[in-house]
């Protein structure tokens, strides 16, 4: 498995008994990123047997309650479990001031540090990077400042072919040089074709999260060709006016974004509680973009190479 997303909550503002408010775990290159943190996130993490200590970065799209009310419980539980590693929360700059009095009151002896990083709502911004993964935030268009997130594996080096090592008796420095793109000269004094020496690197995997937002085509170049796109679909298209008024998206609009960004697969979530039967969401989306599915809580969607 190259990348996977586990849905901890898939409903919109009003949770129902089997759909919690928004939260998900994105797993890539052994990193576990928590995206949004609706009420009940810690219970859903338990239910999905996700090791709490693996979560070091939390990305909060916006400060509406259904995306953040699980945060205090999670922070407190991390403390009770004796966490020592710092926890970084990427969110709106208001969050720190809002949480401070609650942290002081409810979590006075927290044994670890919380690092608050402010999101940029003006333009796409790299907000996390390590040697294997990069995370960008990008502006969405909702009633309050809101960011989507793009999580990408970094491009990998090609692999050296075992036959080539044997045939040309390659040393370690030579292998490193070839993998870095340097030409290799054979005993006959001629350059060896790189395809004889290397197998191409696996394509890096990528994931984009777009919630909450109105139908917003500016995201298309940013999320172009991601393997997986999670996009909110609060309403069916017959309620497109309500969607516009409340700065949400319809299933058809989300599928249009997916089609025009040429993504691999579309995951729809953040459904309004008014709908009992969600089947029409899938039908509506698939009329525009075939590879669309509706997510459920506790579902894991994988990207395989």
Q: Which residues contact 248 (CB under 8 A, 6 or more apart)?
A: 12, 212, 213, 214, 232, 234, 235, 242, 270
Q: Residue 134, interface with its own copies (CB under 8 A)?
A: no
Which CB atom, from 62 or from 117, has the smaller least distance to its own copies?
62
The nearest distance, CB 13 to its own copies, in angstroms, is 6
Per CB under 8 A, 275 contacts its own copies:
no
Instruction: Using CB under 8 A, pick the residue from 29, 54, 56, 73 that binds its own copies.
Output: 73
Q: Which is nearer to its own copies, 42 or 146 (CB)?
A: 42
**Closest separation between CB of residue 282 and its own copies, Å?**
24
Of the two residues 66 and 227, which places its CB atom closer to its own copies in the complex?
66
Q: How far apart are CA 241 and CA 234, in angstroms?
A: 12
Find how far residue 122's CA is from the centre of its chain: 20
Is there binding between residue 2 and its own copies (CB under 8 A)?
no
What separation in angstroms does the CA of 172 have from each of 94, 99, 161, 175, 192?
51, 52, 13, 5, 17
DSSP conformation class of 192: P
What are the respective helix, strand and coil percentages of the chain, to the nearest 5? 30, 30, 40
Catalytic residue among 18, 36, 66, 260: 66
**According to DSSP H, which parts of the chain are helical?**
41-47, 65-68, 71-80, 94-106, 162-168, 172-179, 194-197, 220-223, 240-245, 251-260, 279-286
- CA 183, CA 190: separation in Å to the nearest integer? 10
281 in helix, strand or coil? helix
**Which of residues 105 and 131 has its CB atom nearest to its own copies in the complex?**
105
Scanning 54-62, 69-77, 82-90, 118-126 for contacts with its own copies by CB under 8 A, the matching segment is 69-77
Neighbours of 188 (CB within 10 A): 7
**What minimum distance in Å lies between the beta carbon of 89 and its own copies?**
16
Tokens encoding 110? 């927290």
Site for its own copies in 14-43 (CB under 8 A): 14-17, 20-21, 39-40, 42-43
Please say if 66 is a catalytic residue.
yes
Among 1, 46, 143, 193, binds its own copies (CB under 8 A): 46
Segment 47 to 66, residues that bind its own copies, using CB under 8 A: 47, 63-66
Closer residue to its own copies, CB minimum distance, 37 or 226 = 37
Residues taking part in catalysis: 66
List contacts with its own copies (CB under 8 A): 13-17, 20-21, 39-40, 42-43, 46-47, 63-66, 69-70, 72-73, 76-77, 80-81, 94, 98, 101-102, 105-107
């Amino acid at each position: 498995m190259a990348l996977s997303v586990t849905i901890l909550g898939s409903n919109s503002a009003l949770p129902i008994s089997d759909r919690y408010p928004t939260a998900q775990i994105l797993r890539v290159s052994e990193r576990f990123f928590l995206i949004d943190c609706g009420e009940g996130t810690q219970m859903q993490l338990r239910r999905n047997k996700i090791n709490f200590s693996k979560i070091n970065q939390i990305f909060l799209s916006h400060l509406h309650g259904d995306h953040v009310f699980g945060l205090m419980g999670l922070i407190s539980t991390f403390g009770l479990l004796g966490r020592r590693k710092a926890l970084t929360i990427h969110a709106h700059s208001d969050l720190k001031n809002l949480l401070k009095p609650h942290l002081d009151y409810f979590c006075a002896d927290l044994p670890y540090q919380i690092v608050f990083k402010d999101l940029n709502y003006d333009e796409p911004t790299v907000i996390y990077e390590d040697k294997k993964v990069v995370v960008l935030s990008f502006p969405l268009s909702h009633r309050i400042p809101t960011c989507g997130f793009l999580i990408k594996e970094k491009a990998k080096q090609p692999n050296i072919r075992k036959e080539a090592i044997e045939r040309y008796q390659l040393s370690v420095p030579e292998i490193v040089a070839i993998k870095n793109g340097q030409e290799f000269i054979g005993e006959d004094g001629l350059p060896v074709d790189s395809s004889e020496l290397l197998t191409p690197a696996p394509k890096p995997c990528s994931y984009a999260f777009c919630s909450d937002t109105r139908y917003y085509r500016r995201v298309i170049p940013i999320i172009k060709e991601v393997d997986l796109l999670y996009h909110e679909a609060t309403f069916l298209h017959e309620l497109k006016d309500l969607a516009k008024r409340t700065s949400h998206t319809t299933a058809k609009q989300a599928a249009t974004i997916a089609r025009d960004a040429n993504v691999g697969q579309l995951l729809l979530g953040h459904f309004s509680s008014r709908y009992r039967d969600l089947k029409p969401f899938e039908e509506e989306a698939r009329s525009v973009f075939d590879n669309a599915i509706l997510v459920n809580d506790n579902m894991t969607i994988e990207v395989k190479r």
